[in-house]
Structure 1
Amino acid sequence: MVLRIATFNAENLLSRFDFSGFERDHRQDRVNQLYDPKDKEQYKQMEIARIVSLTDDTRQLTALAIADTDADIVCLQEVEDIDTLSAFERGYLYKMVGEGYRQKYLAEGNDRRGIDVGVMMREQTRDGQDIEFVRMQSHAHVTYEDFDLFTEELSERYNPKDRIFKRDCLEIDVLVGGKPLTIYVVHFKSMGSSRNGLDGKTYTMPVRAAEAKAVRKIIEKRFGKGKTDSKRFIICGDMNDYDERVVVTGDRRTGYDFKVEHEKHSAIDVFLSDGFTENVMLRRNELDRWTVYHTRGPDVQHLCQLDYILLSPALAKSSASIKPDIIRAGQPWRTVFPDGQDVERYPRVGWDRPKASDHCPLAMSINIV
């Protein structure tokens, strides 16, 4: 039988307003920076108008992107809470797919902005097999000390009793047609900007490496170390790291060039180095594995994979002939596509916004045997 699963960073799926930009310029949206509100109350009115006017288009595009995954189970990142997720599914996604995702699960994690990871599931797969929820376990409480993962590299910013996961590792057990499957949904530490003479990726690498090691420890504790080859598990989410990137040079006038550059290290190595899981995106052409376009102006731009579906050896073997799909129709027009990859954007997608998200959904059909 076939299960279709997707992962998607929906980018700030929130139901609240953030007025902190009034006191902190770096938190203020660029539109508001064009105006000079006389006081905080006027600033609040401006921010409410900005968010409300943008949100409807944005969430229609988010829903279209999820609908195009055609997934039975959708793993989500950057969701505020279960009420927000339910309101989005009812008000937007339902119009695209009908009552397809009645089962929703989310636990409050550690992110200071209140963005969590969650899961939506159909009651049956597309071919009529029951999807039955069994249990959910949050691991947001786990500390470096608990898992013996505190290192000297972390001591500058953290202490052993700090929590490892910057959001969570949400563990979901389901039965698909009566067969057990375990899903781990994650959202690792973001790279941020350069600090202490190091680029953002390198500076924050120890944090993501610890998160990845913690996920692996959770799985090995559950199934037995070195005994996971026959188990059905999937690790999904935004891992904010990459083994390779497509460096983009050029501009709209002269044209673009694309060059693949490989990284020496990434946090993803924890999952891949000894065959613990397979990154199924490697089944695609190396120029066509990206899920995010990153730019800080014309001199700094690249495409890379930050979003992952990592399959256990058993699932990778049973689905060896299947490639994952990437839904890019919700990307803004500023995103630079390599030759032959450009897609027809959804209606009302803007140059930078509105858009479905800064990330692309990633989906794959998996044979459960």
Structure 2
Amino acid sequence: MRIATFNVQNLRLRHPMGRPRFDGARDDDVPQDSGLQAAALDLADRRLTAAVLAHADADVVCLQEVFDIEALDFFHDHLLRDAGGPVYPHRFCFPGNDGGGRDVALMSRRPVDEVVSHASLTAVDLGLEELPGRKANIPVFCRDCLMARVGELTLFLCHFKAPWPDARAAWPVRRLEALAVRRLIERRVTGDENALWLVLGDLNEHRDIREGEQAIAPLTEGFAIDLMERVSETERWSYYEPGSGRYSRPDYIL
């Protein structure tokens, strides 16, 4: 089974003048990200996304930053198919906790036996200590932890809190998310040493940046294996910053 994870960055479908159109492929971080010129490139960006996924030819695709099932279906039925990608009859995208509407999603050409959203879970639900100063009824996941079982394999699809705009404030939030995912896995596989599971997604922890202990250490230190460590160092990157020229990797398969 081939499995992929990809942050597709604001996959949003709108209907200006009644016609479907993707926008949001750019983050507005630089002036070139806005205006008519940027809007004209939205479709090209989405076609490139489709080409990457078609080339991956994965059996199961875990996505981040999909706005809703309508956007996912339209992307699948039009752009991905036009790019020669596989048919994914099983597609899921549930509302999460991201204030901007960016959700996690899953596409599979294999039957999905179980799908569970954990968007409403709190730290108290999981027996974890709440963050100081935060109410107990606040969801523990900034977006969601979508659990999906495909045959004997259970996937935990995540998109953790971004370090922007305040990396120091985001660290404990991301640490709590990592603890929550670990607790979900431990509850799921209790007593089964041969259980098959993976944690996938944009965990927003750049592996190449070492400034103290990583927020996701509960997952990576003595619990799960970072499969990307098996790839040559020059091929481990998944994100490129044009401004700095830096290659990094906020994405994981554990």
The bucket for the TM-score relative to the shorter chain is 0.7 to 0.9
The answer for the alignment partner of 1:161 in structure 2 is: 137
> Compared with structure 1, are the counterparts of its residues 306 and 27 closer, same or farther at alpha carbon in structure 2 (3 Å cutoff)?
closer
Q: Would you say 1:264 and 2:212 are equivalent positions?
A: yes
Contact 2:90 2:111 in 1 (8 A): no
Q: 2:251 aligns with which of 295, 301, 307?
A: 307
The answer for the alignment partner of 1:5 in structure 2 is: 3
Q: 2:227 aligns with which of 263, 280, 285?
A: 280
- Greater relative CO (CA pairs within 8 A, separation 6+): 1
Alignment-mate amino acid for residue 11 of structure 1: Q
Q: 1:111 aligns with which of 69, 86, 98?
A: 98
The answer for the alignment partner of 1:16 in structure 2 is: 14
Contact 2:64 2:102 in 1 (8 A): yes
TM-score (norm 1): 0.61
Structure 1 stretches of 5 or more lacking a match? 18-25, 34-46, 123-130, 195-199, 246-261, 311-369
Cα distance in 2, alignment partners of residues 96 and 32 from structure 1: 25
Q: Secondary structure of 2:83's match?
A: helix
Deviations 1:59-113 (A, max 9, x none): 1101001111121110000001111100011110001225521210111100011
Contact 2:141 2:160 in 1 (8 A): yes
Q: 1:207 aligns with which of 156, 161, 173?
A: 173
> Compared with structure 1, are the counterparts of its residues 60 and 229 closer, same or farther at alpha carbon in structure 2 (3 Å cutoff)?
same
> Compared with structure 1, are the counterparts of its residues 208 and 32 closer, same or farther at alpha carbon in structure 2 (3 Å cutoff)?
closer
Shift of 1:135: 1.3
> Compared with structure 1, are the counterparts of its residues 30 and 308 closer, same or farther at alpha carbon in structure 2 (3 Å cutoff)?
same
Runs of 4+ with >4 A deviation: 26-29, 49-52
Q: Would you say 1:184 and 2:156 are equivalent positions?
A: yes
- Number of aligned residues: 243
Structure 2 stretches of 5 or more lacking a match? 16-26
Cα distance in 2, alignment partners of residues 184 and 210 from structure 1: 15
Deviations 1:30-66 (A, max 9, x none): 2597xxxxxxxxxxxxx6x566522211111010011
> What is the percent sequence identity of the aligned residues?
35
> Compared with structure 1, are the counterparts of its residues 11 and 98 closer, same or farther at alpha carbon in structure 2 (3 Å cutoff)?
closer
The answer for the alignment partner of 1:141 in structure 2 is: 120
Q: Secondary structure of 2:55's match?
A: helix
Alignment-mate amino acid for residue 139 of structure 1: H
Cα distance in 2, alignment partners of residues 139 and 235 from structure 1: 14
The answer for the alignment partner of 2:21 in structure 1 is: none
Shift of 1:155: 2.6
Q: Secondary structure of 1:265's match?
A: coil
Cα distance in 2, alignment partners of residues 272 and 159 from structure 1: 28
The answer for the alignment partner of 2:207 in structure 1 is: 243
Q: CA RMSD in A?
A: 2.4
